Amino acid sequence: MRIGRGVRVVLFDLDGTLIDTRSRFYVVFNESLEKFGLPTLTRDTFDRFYRNASLGELIPENLETSFWDCFLESYSKTSSPQECRIPGSKLALYELKKLGMDVGIVTGRIADVESVWSELERHELAQFVDTVVTRSKEQNTNTDYFSKEHNLLEALESLGRSPFESVFVGDYVADIRSGKRIGAVTVAVLSGGVKREILARENPDLILESVANLPPIIKDQS
């Protein structure tokens, strides 16, 4: 698949795409289940649902919005000593900047932008990033709670770019759906742990093992 010669900006999801935060996800998900009086999960059960992108099935429909609001706010205020950069992510961002690409982070976390910048600094990624966009608690959730369409467009506007100049890289189903809806090239990465066949159902333009594989593809087609 050709990414195209018109690409000028690469937008990235954060968790599972640039930083390995699955241990944090597990802890905060169980804490949120407890707060809502729902059964908690063993790590094996959590991993099984996570790999199948089906954790949402465990949340009753009437609690969905309040549960995920609680989860995403708590998630943004938590960290784990096990967290680290996805292997090759720092070099990938460095190489993309060398190619002249704008680089943005679009995360579903309900958090202030400054906290995400601090985390990027901690993982030695901030120097390669041009803009960061987070999710607002008031964001419209009428169609898809995890949609990032609005956030992607906000990031592109801040960079003075159009969707048709962009690539969006993510590890989850909603990332691919959001990128496709705005007309971006979509790249699914397996580094977050979701099964390849689950991501493939969303018809991303590319499926890669991780962001480490992306710069050579963009370089060859630019």
- pLDDT value at 101 more than 70: yes
Instruction: Estimate to the nearest angstrom the gap between the alpha carbon of 161 and the chain centroid.
Output: 20
Across 107-116, 139-148, 176-185, 190-199, least confident range = 139-148
Please report the beta strands in 111-198, taking only residues with DSSP state E, as ranges in sequence order: 131-135, 166-170, 185-189
- Among 3-7, 69-73, 75-79, 120-124, top mean pLDDT goes to 120-124
pTM for this one?
A: 0.93
Q: What is the pLDDT of residue 80?
A: 72
- pLDDT value at 142 more than 60: no
**For the chain, what is the mean pLDDT?**
92
In sequence order, the β-bridge partners of residue 84 are: 20
Q: What is the pLDDT of residue 181?
A: 95
Over residues 210-218, the mean pLDDT reads 95
Q: What is the pLDDT of residue 4?
A: 64
Q: Which amino acid is at 23?
A: S
Tokens representing 205 are 């333009």
Q: What is the pLDDT of residue 81?
A: 74
Read off the pLDDT band of 82 (50, 70, 90).
Answer: confident
Taking the domains of the chain in order of start, what are their residue ranges?
9-20+83-221, 22-76
Q: What is the pLDDT of residue 105?
A: 98
Read off the pLDDT band of 146 (50, 70, 90).
Answer: confident
- pLDDT value at 140 more than 80: no
- pLDDT value at 88 more than 80: yes
Q: What is the pLDDT of residue 212?
A: 97
Tokens representing 39 are 């059964």
- As a whole number of angstroms, the distance between CA 6 and CA 167 comes to 10
Assigned CATH for 9-20+83-221: 3.40.50.1000
State the residue for tokens 């465990």. Answer: 58
Read off the pLDDT band of 6 (50, 70, 90).
Answer: confident
Half-sphere exposure of 14 (CA within 13 A, CB side): 30
Q: What is the pLDDT of residue 52?
A: 97
Q: What is the pLDDT of residue 137?
A: 67
Higher pLDDT, 178 or 4: 178
